[in-house]
Copies of this chain bind each other. A is one copy, B any other.
Amino acid sequence: MKNKPESPHCSTCGSRHKSVFCSIESEEVKEIDNIKGCNFFDRGQVIFHEGNRVNGIYCINKGKVKIYQTGSEGKEQIIRFAKEGDIIGYRALLSEEPLSASAATLDDAVVCFIPKSQVLKIIQNNPSFNFKMLKILSHELGEAARIITDLAQKPVRERLAESLLLLKDTFELDEDKNIQVKLSREELANIIGTATESVIRLLSEFKKDKLIDIDGRNIKLINIPALTREANIID
């Protein structure tokens, strides 16, 4: 968590316009810029830790982040991901509860911090921002419900296929159809709630069936329609 001098400015932040902050006034942007903190993280570092209190929200300027809970046996459960332009930590802030999950970087990342007072001020003064927060939260809640049903009802094979597609939607594919995020086999297992070995076996089956290609942590989606069928998605 090294504090470098060249903190990014909100006014020049490339991810601002596709984020929840896209509709705030330039006056408010200036205010945030003055009050916000900014931190540089190496890959794998923890941004905040489950159980702690938050005093603001974190805005990801650069990098990819996993949000995860620790189960009763100490096993990590990945709840969701966040990337450039996303905010994290707002759930605990708004519910005034301790953090229900931890956040850690998946690559080198730059994360800004906006204190609670400022966030509440914007919520109160900017109906559009306010409504966006309501929208984000209720959208997340819908996603969570879908995950619950899948975990409860789908076999591991389907869950893995679905997770690969979800990762594709979140982080997109590069020109070679590789999912643009590098996760360990264990992290993949911690998304779908299974053992690392099961992920390994199923990935190589998917490869054998020409649904994907694997090169280390690079996963290439070569037959998305078939993968979708494998995932048994209703929508």
Q: A: which residues have CB within 8 A of B? A: 69, 71-73, 75, 77, 79, 90-97, 100-101, 123-124, 127, 130-131, 133-135, 137-142, 144-154, 158, 192-193, 232-234
Contact = CB atoms under 8 A, between A and B. Distances in A.
B141 A91 contact: yes
B144 A72 contact: no
B149 A97 contact: no
Contacts of A141: 91, 95, 100, 137, 140-141, 144
Residue of A72, A137, A149 most packed against chain B (CB within 10 A): A149
B146 A144 contact: no
Contacts of A130: 123, 130
Contacts of A69: 145-146, 148-149
Nearest to A120: B131
A-B complex: 5 closest residue pairs judged by Cβ atoms = A152-B193, A144-B144, A95-B138, A137-B137, A71-B153
A69 B151 CA distance: 13
Contact of A124 (B97, B127, B152, B232): B127
A75 B137 contact: no
Nearest to A75: B153
Contacts of A91: 138, 141-142
Contacts of A147: 148
Contacts of A94: 134-135, 137-138
Contacts of A137: 94, 134, 137-138, 141
Given A142-B100, A148-B144, A77 B153 contact: yes
A57 to B, nearest CB: 11
Nearest to A190: B152
Contacts of A193: 151-153
Contacts of A233: 72
25 contacts: A69-B145, A69-B146, A71-B150, A71-B152, A71-B153, A71-B154, A72-B154, A72-B158, A72-B233, A73-B153, A77-B149, A77-B153, A79-B149, A91-B138, A92-B138, A94-B134, A95-B135, A95-B142, A97-B142, A100-B142, A100-B145, A123-B130, A137-B138, A152-B192, A153-B193
Nearest to A90: B138
